[in-house]
Structure formats: C-alpha cells, structure tokens
Amino acid sequence: MSLRKYLTSRVFFGQLFIAIAIIAVLAYLFMHWLTFTTDHGHEIAVPNLAKLTEEQVEEKLDDLDLDYELLDSVDYRDDYPKFSVVEQDPLPGTKVKVGRKVYIKINSSGFSSVQIPNLIEKTYREAVPTLKALGLEAGTVTYIPNLAKDMVLEMRFKGRNLKAGDRVLKASKIDLVLGDGKATYEDEAAKDTLQAPAVESETPLNEQ
C-alpha cells in the first residue's frame, strides 16, 4: 500500500483517533495529579496574630495547619502586651497554602535605656529631632531670662536635672529649660557689677 493510500485509509484514521484519545486521557490525568500534589484551590487566610503570645500563636496556627517562626523581638511598645506579637509576615487575610510558615516578631519585656545626649547650648529646633532619634520625647518647655533665645540651658526628667551621659528609658519625656532672649546687656552688666568684690582703699603712710 502506498503512503498516499495509507494516509487516506480507514486504518490510519482509526489509529490517529486512538492516539489523540490516549494523549487527552494522559493530559487529564496529569492535570488532575498536578492539582492534587500542589493542593490547588485549597488556600487558607492568615489570621491576625497581633497581641497574641507565642503559645497562643502556636495553638491558633496548628488548628489551621500552618506553621510559624519567631524572627526577633522589637523595641518595647507600650500599646502591645509584653512578649506579644507586634509584626507578622504574611499579613492578616493573606491567602496561603497548607503548611505555610508565618514569621512573627514579638514585643520586648520593657523599654531599653538610652544615654542622654549633650543638648546644652543647642537650640530647641536642634534638640527635638536629636531626642526623637533616640526614642525620647521633648516634654515641658520652661523659659528663664537669658540672652540666648530658645537655647537649651538645662535638661530635666521628673524634676531632677540631667547631664549628658545620664541614662533614661526610651519614650521618656525630657523637659527643657530655654532662654527667653529678654535679658539685656545692661542687666548682665549690672549683675556682674553686683557680683564683683569690693576693693579696699589704702591710706598713704604720710597721712597717718
């Protein structure tokens, strides 16, 4: 039988149909297997773990067939309980597959301490960002007579004077005493005159 006659014969079309059917069945079985092994379409919404303890996190994720890993603790935040979850990845509501690991960071047990920087003779505008960079806050501002307007003259914490190098807890409020710029040169000169020691005059020997 010639090739042309074979390609147009009933035997060829029958074998072609069988081959196409086999390919279709194999493709269906492969897709079904792939869906099963990847758990396609079966996803879980990550719960909100904020403010939960590590034990509560483990219990909650176990019920959902999810896992977790503790990355680190973060600086203490007073709006979260101690040792509770502050950050998580993936975020709450994210759809994930069974067995996915959720990464968490927990709150530390309390504020860490920081050293007070030297703010004396710095302006108020300079002092505020310096305090914020250290996790501190500018508290009450008090003005006293001094030529240097808005210059820091004293640093105080809960009524006591601070000096550079003293340690306070983060998030503490540091009260600042500033110059009001209202003192005049005459006031300062008069003050210096009052504080100067009196000079005793000597009587010449020939007048005794």
Cβ 133 vs Cβ 117: under 8 Å: no
Q: What is the pLDDT of residues 131-155, one digit of tens each?
A: 999 999 999 999 999 999 999 999 9
Question: Which range has the worst mean pLDDT, 7-16, 126-135, 155-164, 171-180?
Answer: 7-16
159-195 exposure pattern, b = at least 16 Cβ within 10 A, e = fewer? eeebeeeeebeeebebbbbbbeeebeeeeeeeeeeee
User: Helix or strand or coil: residue 179?
Assistant: strand
Mean pLDDT on 106-129: 92
User: Helix or strand or coil: residue 118?
Assistant: coil
Separation between Cα atoms, residue 193 and residue 23, nearest integer Å:
110
Separation between Cα atoms, residue 30 and residue 196, nearest integer Å:
102
